[in-house]
Structure 1
Amino acid sequence: MSKDVMDTQSFNTDLLSFLQASPTPFHATDTIVQQLSLAGFTELREGDAWNLQAGGRYWLTRNDSSVIAFVYGKRPMLETGIRMVGAHTDSPCLKVKPQPELTRQNYAQLGVEVYGGVLMAPWFDRDLSMAGRVSFRGDDDRIASALVDFVAPVAVVPSLAIHLDREANRQRCINPQKELPPLLLQLSGGDKAPDFRALLHDQLRSQHPELTVAEVLDYEISLYDTQAPALVGLKQDFIASARLDNLLSCYVGLRSLLEADPEVTSLLVCNDHEEVGSASSCGAKGPMLQQFLERLLPDPDSRVRVLDRSLMISADNAHGVHPNFSDRHDENHGPLLNAGPVIKVNANQRYATNSATSALFRELCRQVSVPVQTFVSRTDMECGSTIGPVTAAEIGVKTLDVGVPTFAMHSIRELAGSQDACYLYQVLKQFYGYPHPLV
């Protein structure tokens, strides 16, 4: 077995572990922070005064769901600029409502809200668990928060039998209010549905015995599929997992930054709320990255000059050409799985790529012998977007959009090529150590 194959297998094993440990943006951020801390990065708190030193490595979070990791290069930023990679921690899912308890036909259910552009049909008949952040009052009347993960399959959304819906395979429109509330348990006699906050209280006590929890005040809890990420296919050509969009890019960016050249200033930002428009304090439309750069470079003139020498690579999955639906792609721009990362282009700025930024990415791919592809939507179809155009508009940095090709984007279980994450890692690692001036 060649070293390259062994390296790819090892990379994918670690990627699958990261995906499994990250059922929500809160858990993804926590997992990233754990790896940064183990690698010697130092925490920054936004409420503290900072004393950043060249040669240092730092991280900070906001809302427990967005993270910036930063390598302060030894060479002056006015020479090197800042190498930036951006991704997002959130994925489309079902979120539990504030007063979720439902009782129907002696079954206890939960009211849920759709987060982002969920492909709803695959959520039926899956073994679901719940995870997220819980805010509580302690015995000392202070408010604190902690993460919980039920881990076990505790919920399911059963389909209606074909015998009761003969048109299900011909035409179906899912009503999320009526059809998506999951089952928790069957009630008997005069039993009442369990109080959801009481369930969370039990999870807090079980998972955080060091905490004193007087009362659960509120929560942000998501449902997720308990099926573990896996390599699939006769030759394990594919990675199947929930949340590949966009935790795959978060992990690739993290691994690349951990090996960044200490001489050059490099940054990774993983924002929450991309799937719902990025408009939040910790989203890409919010001020998180801008405020970090203002503290890093307080002089406005120097900051503009450094940003002029900088580049942001927005890494977010691309649409691979589906063999059963190849007509949904432009015939000249259908990316294949396991054929390398994809440069995403849109004339109407749904992606931030331009010819100068894409040229640099192509050169980086050439330097590490990684194949590269291009995606452009059909002209008669709407195009999605990413944090790329948002970040470019907010901080004025040159930007391009790239990603690994994927099937079933926004499904409860997505599919990517088993070679492509490692391909992208090689390119981003090269970007973080690129010795020449950026575009």
Structure 2
Amino acid sequence: MSAPSRFDRGHTDDLMTFLSASPTPYHAVANAAERLEKAGFRQVAETDAWDGTSGGRYVLRGGAIIAWYVPEGAAAHTPFRVVGAHTDSPNLRVKPRPDTGAHGWRQVAVEIYGGPLMNSWLDRDLGLAGRLSLRDGSTRLVNVDRPLLRVPQLAIHMDRNVTADGLKLDKQRHLQPVWGLGDTVRDGDLIAFLEDEAGLARGEVTGWDLMTHSVEPPAYLGRDRELVAGPRMDNLLSVHAGTAALAAVATSGAGLPYIPVLAAFDHEETGSQSDTGADGPLLGTVLERSVFARGGSYEDRARAFAGTVCLSSDTGHAVHPNYAERHDPTHHPRVNGGPILKVNVNNRYATDGSGRAVFAAACEKADIPFQTFVSNNSMPCGTTIGPITAARHGISTVDIGVAILSMHSARELCGADDPHLLANALVAFLQP
């Protein structure tokens, strides 16, 4: 029998459902929007005029979503409380000419997106999902969530040095998945297959953004089921927690001193420089338009931004039992130890002392523990949307997250209690 947890596992169960239903950023934002709709939010188009009435709204653009809740009586200069996250994960993405193959194998041509642990994509049953652009200008999501593709590893008998020298993969030659047999490569086969899967007529698809995903579902792991293994925790874990927190705060209604916001961006894994990335204008434009829709001036916008705080929530590194020497010797975040505060004095993370105080206050209000992550001085430090958000918008930003193992693997590992702890901290931050 599983040992009881002091925390409700319902949130983690729901996270696992969200991960399974969100194989791509496009699916993730659609699922987040559906959850917000149930909490009373409504979608607004960027091309329409916005009004300044109270209530919840959201904007969808590609693989990004910005959602906010204006409480009754909010002034034009009311500051924002922003939870930032990203929707993309490293994976294998389909090239513009996807149909390829050799020696009797039919294959799909893929490009490497972000920085995946490439070995984790070998010998794994893969599905295919993404966004189809249609001849009439509309888009359609597609998700083939069954074993369709596989990147077969070379047998050890033909690579005797792999044990001594380690696995060495050429990104171009060794990661092209197989999906069938045939001596003739026919251009258009893959897209025709997806048109059938999506119930579309042949020739209706004129563009696509497609990517592979592991079809193995998330699962509790361990003797006491205190761990969760699953795909895309970096960073759909934070997107899910932020969505749940915003919906909870909006449902509670009145008395909010800030305007709570969820900003889930695409393309963080490749530098955030896109119209849906954190280094683009999307967040600033949405926040400004919210100010102006409530009758605000540029002065009101400046006052609102000056009082705004953003929690940039992304996964971080739990201490690895087999590589503890790679971590800072005095900072060993543990799974199920609560969310982590990320600190780097060279501004790879945006946290400073005042930001730490904001996050500590939220965790104290939520009655949950938190931990601190600092990189080993001899190791390079990763980064997040945090410094980008702070620099682009002049917004006080704090980097936080959940400690996991196997980051950037096709299947990552976290503590079963930590997602719920993070969501509670975010609720306390959005509703101080």
Number of corresponding residues: 420
Name the structure 2 match of 1:50: 50
Aligned mates of 2:60, 2:331 — CA distance in 1: 37
Aligned mates of 1:6, 1:134 — CA distance in 2: 44
The answer (yes or no) to whether the contact 2:341–2:399 under 8 Å persists in 1 is: yes
After superposition, residues 120-135 of structure 1 pair within 5 angstroms as 120-135=118-133
Name the structure 2 match of 1:304: 302
Aligned mates of 1:344, 1:325 — CA distance in 2: 20
The answer (yes or no) to whether the contact 1:78–1:305 under 8 Å persists in 2 is: no
Q: Could you say if the C-alpha distance between residues 181 and 308 of structure 1 is closer, same or farther in structure 2, counting changes exceeding 3 Å? A: same
Q: Aligned pair 1:268/2:267, yes or no?
A: no
Name the structure 2 match of 1:176: 171
The answer (yes or no) to whether the contact 2:85–2:239 under 8 Å persists in 1 is: yes
Gaps of 5+ in 1: 206-210, 435-439
Q: What is the SS of the residue equivalent to 1:178?
A: coil
Q: What is the SS of the residue equivalent to 1:179?
A: coil
Q: Aligned pair 1:185/2:174, yes or no?
A: no
The answer (yes or no) to whether the contact 1:231–1:239 under 8 Å persists in 2 is: yes
Instruction: Give how far 1:371 is off.
Output: 0.9
After superposition, residues 62-141 of structure 1 pair within 5 angstroms as 62-63=61-62, 65-77=63-75, 81-137=79-135
Name the structure 2 match of 1:437: none
The answer (yes or no) to whether the contact 1:290–1:395 under 8 Å persists in 2 is: yes
Note the alpha carbon deviations across 1:357-393, whole angstroms, 9 max, x for none: 1112112212222111100111111111111111111
TM-score by length of 1: 0.92
Name the structure 2 match of 1:19: 19
Q: Could you say if the C-alpha distance between residues 186 and 82 of structure 1 is closer, same or farther in structure 2, counting changes exceeding 3 Å? A: same
Name the structure 1 match of 2:228: 239
User: Letter of the aligned partner of 2:226 in structure 1?
Assistant: D
Note the alpha carbon deviations across 1:247-268, whole angstroms, 9 max, x for none: 0000000101111153321100
User: Letter of the aligned partner of 1:388 in structure 2?
Assistant: G
Name the structure 2 match of 1:283: 277
The answer (yes or no) to whether the contact 2:390–2:397 under 8 Å persists in 1 is: yes
Aligned mates of 1:149, 1:249 — CA distance in 2: 22
Instruction: Give how far 1:80 is off.
Output: 5.3
Instruction: Give how far 1:76 is off.
Output: 3.2
Instruction: Give how far 1:308 is off.
Output: 1.5
After superposition, residues 143-158 of structure 1 pair within 5 angstroms as 143-158=137-152
Name the structure 2 match of 1:224: 213
Q: Could you say if the C-alpha distance between residues 385 and 348 of structure 1 is closer, same or farther in structure 2, counting changes exceeding 3 Å? A: same
Q: What is the SS of the residue equivalent to 2:149?
A: coil
Aligned mates of 1:6, 1:14 — CA distance in 2: 17
The answer (yes or no) to whether the contact 2:317–2:333 under 8 Å persists in 1 is: yes
Q: Could you say if the C-alpha distance between residues 198 and 278 of structure 1 is closer, same or farther in structure 2, counting changes exceeding 3 Å? A: same
Name the structure 1 match of 2:35: 35
Q: What is the SS of the residue equivalent to 2:173?
A: helix
After superposition, residues 335-350 of structure 1 pair within 5 angstroms as 335-350=333-348
Structure 1 window deviating more from structure 2 (149-158 vs 257-266): it is 257-266
Q: What is the SS of the residue equivalent to 1:266?
A: strand
Name the structure 2 match of 1:420: 418
User: Letter of the aligned partner of 1:176 in structure 2?
Assistant: K
Instruction: Give how far 1:195 is off.
Output: 1.5
The answer (yes or no) to whether the contact 1:282–1:288 under 8 Å persists in 2 is: yes
The answer (yes or no) to whether the contact 1:96–1:112 under 8 Å persists in 2 is: yes
Aligned mates of 1:72, 1:390 — CA distance in 2: 25
The answer (yes or no) to whether the contact 1:377–1:383 under 8 Å persists in 2 is: yes
RMSD: 1.8
Note the alpha carbon deviations across 1:89-131, whole angstroms, 9 max, x for none: 0000000111021121100001110000111001001000100
Instruction: Give how far 1:169 is off.
Output: 2.3
The answer (yes or no) to whether the contact 2:122–2:152 under 8 Å persists in 1 is: yes
TM-score by length of 2: 0.94
Note the alpha carbon deviations across 1:395-432, whole angstroms, 9 max, x for none: 11101000000001000000011111111111111111
The answer (yes or no) to whether the contact 1:108–1:194 under 8 Å persists in 2 is: no
User: Letter of the aligned partner of 2:407 in structure 1?
Assistant: M
Instruction: Give how far 1:78 is off.
Output: 6.7
Instruction: Give how far 1:177 is off.
Output: 0.5
User: Letter of the aligned partner of 1:146 in structure 2?
Assistant: R
Instruction: Give how far 1:75 is off.
Output: 4.5
User: Letter of the aligned partner of 2:244 in structure 1?
Assistant: R
Q: Could you say if the C-alpha distance between residues 290 and 431 of structure 1 is closer, same or farther in structure 2, counting changes exceeding 3 Å? A: same
Name the structure 2 match of 1:389: 387
Structure 1 window deviating more from structure 2 (272-281 vs 305-314): it is 305-314
The answer (yes or no) to whether the contact 1:73–1:266 under 8 Å persists in 2 is: no
Name the structure 2 match of 1:256: 245
User: Letter of the aligned partner of 2:156 in structure 1?
Assistant: I
Q: Could you say if the C-alpha distance between residues 427 and 187 of structure 1 is closer, same or farther in structure 2, counting changes exceeding 3 Å? A: same
Aligned mates of 1:401, 1:414 — CA distance in 2: 20
Note the alpha carbon deviations across 1:306-344, whole angstroms, 9 max, x for none: 112111000000100100000110001121111010000
Instruction: Give how far 1:12 is off.
Output: 0.9
The answer (yes or no) to whether the contact 2:101–2:185 under 8 Å persists in 1 is: no
Name the structure 1 match of 2:191: 197
The answer (yes or no) to whether the contact 1:187–1:193 under 8 Å persists in 2 is: no
Aligned mates of 1:59, 1:414 — CA distance in 2: 29
Instruction: Give how far 1:39 is off.
Output: 1.6
Q: What is the SS of the residue equivalent to 2:162?
A: coil
Q: Could you say if the C-alpha distance between residues 325 and 77 of structure 1 is closer, same or farther in structure 2, counting changes exceeding 3 Å? A: farther
